Amino acid sequence: MIRKIGAIGISLLCLAANIACEKDFSDVGTNVINNDKFETGEFLLDVEITPINIDSVQADNINASISEYWLGVYNNPNAEKIEASIVSQVGYVAGLKNSASNDTIVDLDKVILKLPYISTSQGENADGITTYKLDSILGNVDVGTSVMVKQNNTYLNTLNPSDPSKRNSFFSNFDYESIQVLNETSDFTFKPSEKDTVFSYERIDRFNPSKTYEEIVKATRTNNGETIAVPFLAIPLDVSKMKSLFWDKFESSEFSSKEEFENYFRGLIIEASGTDGSLVPFNLTASPGPSLEFHYTKYLVDASNTVTDTINRKYNFPLSGIQNSVYKMTPSTTSTANSFVIQGTAGSMAEVKIIDDVKLQELRSNNWLVNDASLTFYVNNEISDDASILPQRLFLYQNKENESGGTSPTQLIDAYIEAVNFGGNLEKEDDSPEKYTFRITNYISNLLSGEEDTTAEPLILKVYNPTDTPVTSTSVSTYNWNPRAVRLFNGDITANETKRAVLKISYSKEK
């Protein structure tokens, strides 16, 4: 598609002649007029980069379908350290019974918070046992990550308390009030492992304390009719505290309805902390899903109170309802000149100023045809050298002034008109991370032709999140649950030369 723009001044004609053969930019392959009436060329516009620190992002599941909740610590030396925690309501279960009868005595043995890992089956080993690979773990798995499970005292509501006609929002820096720590031990740590398909505990016989039994806990899924154990994180909770909070309340008013229960027990805060460790994703809506499990024993007794049989059972409460991520960010101590960091979650973005008013008016005053426009950011691959832990995609949008005097995050026209070609994916050269490129031809064409709704306000570069894909609206949400980071070269031509951030425009002009 050919788009009309204004011609450029003599200075840019000289620039075009000087850079037209730069090796680091690929030739424009399509839509270029090339006949006896037109000649073609290309020129580069250097861009100005201003880093933006993100205070917080939307992180609840009230207004979006969240696919990943992260738990743990990621101490990336080239970006901000992330301590990621999870807040969740506990699903209500009706009709629970645990009181003793003439022939049955019920005893609570163990309480476990169970979080199945996101994992991929690797098939069966020589012993016929299904093995797994844990997916998307970041950080140092050899360092134990501290986790405290706390009782939440903040009421989680889907409606905005100040305006019940609107939906509520919980951001990633929301300060939750906790009542008490529920861990069985105060020094609990975990190292994620694909071998964690079994958790065992020692059950003491209530009627003969000298006898103990090993009980096995698994997280399972069904595949072709076969029950398979999958890897999971098991966090033992304090039995006496959970007995008081849950077990002893099963047949009381606190468990009489969903509304009563959610007001009584307002959920869990699963809080990770530390100077180093690993960051692990959990899918809270998958099957098998996360759960709070109460393992108990039913003792069947005769008239003389002699045990005739024992049965092991469990009550299972799913983690469901309102859920949120908490991201505690610690600034990086590493500073590298002539580059900047793009990091997801509550990390950092960048403002990209591609053209000022003087240059814009100069361009608009002429009569050119734009064939292609691409904005490229090169990876500082001496620092961000491992492509597997970098963001696999970045995103570009614009903060536009709105009628209220503020700004609204807005999609660029290319993101929804030519989504397939919009780009932003990580490109590699010999497996080394190389660059991210965006095709913004429609935006540049509209800008230079003076389209009324197209402005020269700076663009915003961020880590891509699934909620960024335009569907029914041109607005961009503030969600981000991608914790990956990348260091990019800025637009300094002296320091970065052909690896600088740059806008390349291919054009045609009348002879």
pLDDT value at residue 127:
82
pLDDT value at residue 24:
41
pLDDT value at residue 128:
80
425 and 360 fall within a common domain: yes
**Residue 15 predicted with pLDDT over 50:** no
pLDDT value at residue 14:
37
Backbone dihedral angles phi then psi of residue 293, each to the nearest 5 degrees: -115, 135
CA atoms within a 13 Å half-sphere pointing along the CA-CB vector of 26: 11
273 and 367 fall within a common domain: no
Could you tell me if residue 500 is inside a domain?
yes
**pLDDT band of 35, cuts 50, 70, 90:** low
Cα separation, 505 vs 12, whole angstroms: 11
Cα separation, 507 vs 2, whole angstroms: 9
Unique residue bearing structure tokens 């970065």: 496
Tens digit of each residue's pLDDT (9 = 90 or more) over 294-333? 999 999 988 888 888 999 999 999 999 999 999 999 998 8
Tens digit of each residue's pLDDT (9 = 90 or more) over 371-393? 999 999 999 999 999 999 999 99
39 and 89 fall within a common domain: no
User: What angle is formed at CA 478 by the lines to CA 475 and CA 480, rounded to 5 degrees?
Assistant: 125
Of 329, 359, 388, the position where a domain reaches its end is: 329
496 and 421 fall within a common domain: yes
More confident residue, 365 or 458: 458
Domain with 380, as residue range(s), is 3-54+347-510
Percent of the chain with pLDDT over 70: 93
Could you tell me if residue 399 is inside a domain?
yes
Of 109-113, 354-358, 429-433, least confident by mean pLDDT is 354-358
375 and 282 fall within a common domain: no
Residue-by-residue DSSP string for 112-181:
EEEEEPPEEEEEE-TTS-EEEEE-S-EE-TTSPEEEEEEEE-SPP-SEETTEEEEE---BTT----EEEE
Could you tell me if residue 199 is inside a domain?
no
Confirm if 77 and 383 have CB atoms less than 8 A apart: no
258 and 325 fall within a common domain: yes
Tens digit of each residue's pLDDT (9 = 90 or more) over 107-152? 999 999 999 999 999 988 888 888 999 999 999 999 999 999 999 9
17 and 89 fall within a common domain: no
Which bin fits 95, alpha (ψ -120 to 50), beta or left (φ > 0)?
Answer: left
280 and 427 fall within a common domain: no
**Residue 26 predicted with pLDDT over 80:** no
Cα separation, 373 vs 381, whole angstroms: 25
Could you tell me if residue 206 is inside a domain?
no
pLDDT value at residue 36:
65
385 and 253 fall within a common domain: no
Percent of the chain with pLDDT over 90: 75
pLDDT value at residue 103:
87
Tens digit of each residue's pLDDT (9 = 90 or more) over 259-285? 999 999 999 999 999 999 999 999 999
Could you tell me if residue 153 is inside a domain?
yes
Stretch 435-463: mean pLDDT: 94
Could you tell me if residue 442 is inside a domain?
yes
367 and 401 fall within a common domain: yes
Give me the number of domains the chain comprises.
Answer: 2
Could you tell me if residue 382 is inside a domain?
yes
Of 15-29, 223-237, 290-304, 328-342, least confident by mean pLDDT is 15-29
